[in-house]
Structure 1
């Protein structure tokens, strides 16, 4: 179960805007480095910032017919929930493949680790953990042919200790994603 708590301040800040759900992935390489991108100066959001690969789910990928001529779409709630859930996980895998250039077969199934929010507009972002079976050196080579490589100008692979020192150059929601990753690691060591 996922619990999202909105405060009165959150509701007031967002009362006249949509809050589309973003996503991000903490991708750990075969040599235990974390993939981080430096955003291009030519993008609309987070220009020049360090970010984790990600973007947002694509509602049209769910392929649910909309209501037309007063008729309800023919889809059960169960079918809709399944399609939306699949898109949540498929979309983060697509974003990672498109942004860093690795083949989908090199990635583990995404593991949902939590929600983080932007500070300015409190837009939520779902964060996932993924393991890549390729070493950092090979990921750097593949990055040059990434489909969405224009969104970023540099790929870094760093240890969690180094990333701790770099996180101040990340947007708040990505800092939150890193905090979720650290909580996941901490919880797994207690088991």
Structure 2
């Protein structure tokens, strides 16, 4: 990964206490703030839903064609060339429709996501293109918006905690097109084809449902579905999901990932046994289950710098690391594993950890 552990930890604040159960959620979201953390920007609610994050009823979606990306002849030609090259390098790649994030707003105490459509091909030719900075400059020049031409597909990631307090991660398969071999939370993309027909209208099973509600439900439920498909656990073994916020990968042209959180009724040993069966639908997308112990999670706050907008507690240098006890520095098995998790993490995992800390949701021993 190109973001060092020292750079990453500058962005995370110290947790004051461990959280092992949900606390009451805030009834209304007053605003959202965007916080820059090196190559990751966080978009998070104000106030924080400490110990709970955001419920389904506090999030909304607005789906309309005006949220699709802008196009131009020269850019489409470039996208086609990038896609041809990537497909030649990795024959397992395939194009597919994706939802696009075109910003957000807060209205009547709800966080509304502006959603359009894009594709995986467009992602490769814009956000993942070597010319992504030029594309953003073109958007700023023509529309006053650096994201105007960007694909910005909606990604989702799920922070899962087992009944005995382990964080559930997987190592991405080495054939994958992005971050092969990196550690990640279960995740992927909500799929427009699950709800739309080829002509763009809702499938018959949704009847006269409001399209915004159906889109939101697909986005929300996809996070849990990704865990089912990648780990082999069932939806019934997960708690109700909560929404943490959005992380934007600035090294990939501001590519967004929506972070979610849930607890499992299964222990770490049970998750390991389920995963080892290899019968999950997307078993080939990961090469290893990686379970982070509560002891390792407990070391994270001792290693993290305070964010720029916070004041350090008494005795902690503003620009320095929090000092570890001498014994922990000498015998730092859990510390070494925590560093390993961060250094081998995808941007999505790093963003998810940042957001989870913000809501004080990691179980600390």
Does TM, scored on the shorter chain, surpass 0.5?
A: yes
> 2:179 and 2:269 mapped to 1: Cα distance?
26
The residue number in structure 1 matching 2:218 is 87
SS of aligned partner of 2:224? helix
The residue number in structure 2 matching 1:179 is 354
Q: How does 1:35-184 map to 2 (within 5 A)?
A: 35-63=168-196, 66=199, 79-121=210-252, 122-144=254-276, 145=278, 146-159=280-293, 160=297, 161=299, 162=334, 164-165=338-339, 166-184=341-359
SS of aligned partner of 1:185? coil
Point out the more displaced range, 45-54 or 142-151.
Answer: 142-151
What is the CA-CA distance between 1:94 and the residue it aligns to?
A: 0.7
> 1:65 and 1:153 mapped to 2: Cα distance?
34
What is the CA-CA distance between 1:64 and the residue it aligns to?
A: 6.2
SS of aligned partner of 1:36? strand
Give the TM-score of the pair, scaled to structure 2.
0.45
What is the CA-CA distance between 1:90 and the residue it aligns to?
A: 1.2
What is the CA-CA distance between 1:80 and the residue it aligns to?
A: 1.1
Distance 1:155 1:79, change over 3 A: same
Distance 1:39 1:67, change over 3 A: closer
Residue segments in structure 2 that go unaligned for 5+ positions in a row: 1-28, 35-102, 104-132, 138-145, 202-206, 300-333
SS of aligned partner of 2:239? coil
Matched residue count: 180
Deviations 1:36-95 (A, max 9, x none): 111111111110100000001111222367469xxxxxx98x801110111111111110
> 2:152 and 2:169 mapped to 1: Cα distance?
24
Deviations 1:116-174 (A, max 9, x none): 11232221000000111000011011112222111111111113235642112112232
What is the CA-CA distance between 1:183 and the residue it aligns to?
A: 1.0
> 2:181 and 2:200 mapped to 1: Cα distance?
41
Aligned residues of 1:116 and 1:174 also touching (Cα < 8 A):
no
Give the TM-score of the pair, scaled to structure 1.
0.82
What is the CA-CA distance between 1:103 and the residue it aligns to?
A: 1.4
SS of aligned partner of 2:160? strand
What is the CA-CA distance between 1:185 and the residue it aligns to?
A: 1.3
Distance 1:67 1:113, change over 3 A: closer
RMSD (Å) for aligned C-alpha atoms: 2.9
The residue number in structure 2 matching 1:28 is 161
SS of aligned partner of 2:269? helix
Instruction: Compare CA radii of gyration and give the structure with the larger one.
Output: 2
The residue number in structure 1 matching 2:51 is none
